[in-house]
Amino acid sequence: MDSTPDLYRATQARATNHTVATLPTQTALVRGVGIDLIELERIARACARHPRFVERILTPAERAYCLSHSASAVQHIAGRWCAKEAIAKAVGRPLRWQEVEILPDPYGKPVVHLYGTSATLVPEGELLVSITHTRTLAQAIALWVVNR
């Protein structure tokens, strides 16, 4: 009996058939990459010490989303912090906290929205982010992708 997974065989079959017609017509170029990692305890301390901390770093829609997850609100706040830091690193310039908004799409994928001056710093392309966390850490990676 063949133990090769069906998905692998299907991928190999497509690769050998040279399905070039399904490739995108434009080439995507990664213009910037950023990554950030933070201990959840640091965010929890900042929230406890500075009552307006969350208001300063998150938009009203982000606050509503993060605080709706009461059991894991700190993880969600820390994830947004990391994502915004990673985006600034990918762009290569500081951005205003309130002008960068990261909200989930209907499937839970984080989507970046830029407003104001921050939007003018990224005149083309798309910002992609991935956010993850454990019991003690949150991490995010951001890519600035443009079509060429």
Residues that are catalytic: 89, 133
Based on DSSP, count helices (H) and strands (E) in the chain, helices before strands.
6, 5
Contact 128, 112 (CB under 8 A): yes
C-alpha–C-alpha distance, residues 103 and 100, integer Å: 10
- In sequence order, the 6+-apart residues with CB closer than 8 A to the CB of 74 are 40, 43, 44, 47
Strands 110-114 and 28-39: unpaired
Helix (H) or strand (E) holding 67, with range, is helix 60-67
